[in-house]
Structure 1
Amino acid sequence: MGLTPNHVLKDFAMVSIRDSIFIIGGRECEKVTKVSPSDHETPGTNISTSEKDVVIRSSVLRYDTSTGLWSQCRPLNKPRYDFACTVLEGKIYVAGGLSELSVALGTSCAEVYDLSENKWTVLPNMSTLRYKCVGVTWQGKVYVVGGFVNKLDMDGKFNHVVRCSVETYDPRTQKWDLVAGMWKLDVPPNQIVQVEGTLFSSGDCLNAWKGHIDSYDGKLKIWNIVDGSQMHINPSFDHGLMSIQRMYMTMAPIGTHLYFLAGYRIAEEASRNVSMACVFDTSIKGGAWSKLEPIEEDVEKELCSHCCVVELS
């Protein structure tokens, strides 16, 4: 819904409130097929598909799982992609991101969506401009973790600050605080989720799966490898001598479990995809993995690295 034909949506946010899923912002890209001049007489050879940025979206789409219907919500006050997004007390918070296609410089703008009023309200700006950051709700606050960050100095010039910094927003005080060193890597995180008061991460934006799960110790302010979480996540099916390429991996918490959903493509068959899921139980001492059988799909589709959990009443 809301996309021009032959276009795809990238770098958007996807969250849920009750039985509804929300698709927020992102950049709309046009699929462009390239054929070299020497191939005009030989159809089907050396044809490649690329994507061209068209527009940064401010749109908000809502999918009602109980009715199966899509609808348009009030758009963002500021279009953005590669931004932080999380839900706190039934409201959607967004912060940071990129708002211009020609400038790789983040924004400090933040806003909150009230579903009951179908309204976005502008929040105070963060103290930093950041994009490729991750949003998570923890201890009653909104955390905007990592990303590529800049900060204005007293002369109005940009000073680069440590990428591992975090901005936290407290709805009670309506203020942002800058926390240094919470994310220890120089590379922005891929995802951070909260399970029963503990934060978990499994990779960064360059490598969505590092081979294990990390948990955050809020007292010592360090990330530790979770016992028993080391695993080689790969589809266990007979693919002969064909090579497989992971296209995405996303993590979602359900109860005490972490679900890892992955999509793979058979390198020799561009239209052949494999989907699989692995589950890690955080409640068991030393952890426990289980793996669902992979599903092969022969239908060509656009693989997506977004997911969210819907709690049905």
Structure 2
Amino acid sequence: SSAEVYDPALDEWTPLPSMSTLRYKCVGVTWQGKIYVVGGFAERGDSDLNMLTFSPQRSSAEVFDTRAGRWDLVAGMWQLDVPPNQIVAVDGKLFSSGDCLKPWKGHIEMYNGMLNMWDEVDGSCFQISTSSGTNDEHWPPMERLYLTMAPIGTQLYFLAGYRMAGESSRTLSTVYIFDTSATVDAWRSLAPMEEEGEKELCSHCCVVQLY
């Protein structure tokens, strides 16, 4: 698999050395000064050039050392057969909320580098359902269109979008916030925002600091 790094000062992309394994649906995150590519499906050794066959790689994670300029395998960093949906770094820790088939598993997980495993974060259990969960009589049951996560400071922001079942004329967006530094009552939410027209999120959120 190939990877590139963007230099904003030069406004250009520079190719990095190729990873050891061809990957599909992997997740990238910068952590502790290195670039991690976690999960995904990897090309099997018996694949031919005409038909690529992908198989789950439970130990598939590679890290790029910017100083050494090489990729190294991190065995067992992602234990699930299903690739992760998002992994973000907050205050020197890695957090995940789900996989590509189920973006919200009902709780948040944090990576334990000492044990090389993901642990459920205390107090992170929360219901972000596939419906809106609102009691407003003007909003009948709705289906969730998307759910994405972005870190700001010590907080994780989850943006969820809903629409009424069978109707695309109105969309409801809701933001849920989890404070990773809190010991109690870590969850809160912002007021839902109604928008006209169908809206879908085709990618993950990112954080941009404006000066």
Same fold (TM over 0.5): yes
178 and 134 in structure 1: CA distance in 2 versus 1, 3 angstrom threshold: same
Give the distance between the partners of 1:288 and 1:302, measured in 2 at CA.
28
Return the offset for 1:238.
1.6
Match of 1:220 in 2: 115
1:109 and 2:2 aligned: yes
One-letter amino acid of the structure 2 residue matched with residue 226 of structure 1 = V
> Which structure 2 segments of 5+ residues have no match?
none
- In structure 2, relative to structure 1, the CA distance for the partners of 1:159 and 1:301 (3 Å cut) is closer
Match of residue 136 from structure 1: 29
- Answer yes or no: is 1:290 the counterpart of 2:188: yes
Separation of aligned partners in 1, 2:126 and 2:10: 45
**Do the aligned partners of 1:258 and 1:279 also contact (CA within 8 Å) in 2?**
yes
Once structures 1 and 2 are overlaid, which stretch shifts more, 114-123 or 163-172? 114-123
C-alpha separation in 1, matches of 2:139 and 2:184 = 35
Distance 2:100 2:122 in 1: 23
- Cα–Cα, structure 1 residues 158 and 174, in superposed 2: closer, same or farther, change >3 Å? farther
- Counterpart CA distance in 1 for 2:25 and 2:19 is 15
The answer to whether the 8 Å contact 1:242/1:268 transfers is: no
* Runs of at least 5 residues in structure 1 that lack an aligned partner in the other structure: 1-107
Counterpart AA for 1:231? F
CA contact (8 A) 1:200 1:215 kept: yes
User: Match for 1:284: what amino acid?
Assistant: A
Asked if residue 256 in structure 1 is aligned to residue 154 in structure 2, the reply is yes
Q: Cα deviation per residue 1:264-293 (whole Å; 9 max; x = unaligned)? A: 111032222110001011111246101111
Task: Give the structure with the higher percent strand.
Answer: 1
* Equivalent residue runs for 1:7-156 within 5 Å: 108-152=1-45
Distance 1:173 1:160 in 2: 30
Following superposition, the deviation at residue 151 of structure 1 comes to 5.0
% same residue: 61
Q: Secondary structure at the match of 1:247?
A: strand
Bigger Cα Rg: 1
Q: 1:227 & 1:246 partners in 2: Cα distance?
A: 26
Tell me if 1:175 matches 2:70.
yes
Question: Displacement, 1:240?
Answer: 6.5
How many residue pairs are counted as aligned between the two chains?
205
Q: CA deviation at 1:181?
A: 1.0
Give the TM-score taking structure 2 as reference length: 0.88
Q: Which amino acid counterpart does residue 270 of structure 1 have in structure 2?
A: S
Q: Is contact 1:248–1:305 with CA below 8 Å preserved after alignment?
A: no
Query: SS where residue 169 of structure 1 aligns?
Result: strand
Q: Among 173, 185, 198, which residue is 1:275 paired with?
A: 173
Q: Given the alignment, which residue of 88, 98, 116 partners 1:203? A: 98
Give the structure 2 partner of residue 244 of structure 1: 142
- Matched position secondary structure for 2:199: coil
Q: TM-score, normalising length from structure 1? A: 0.61
Alpha-carbon deviation of 1:129? 0.3
Q: Aligned letter for 1:190?
A: N
Helix, strand or coil at the partner of 1:193: strand
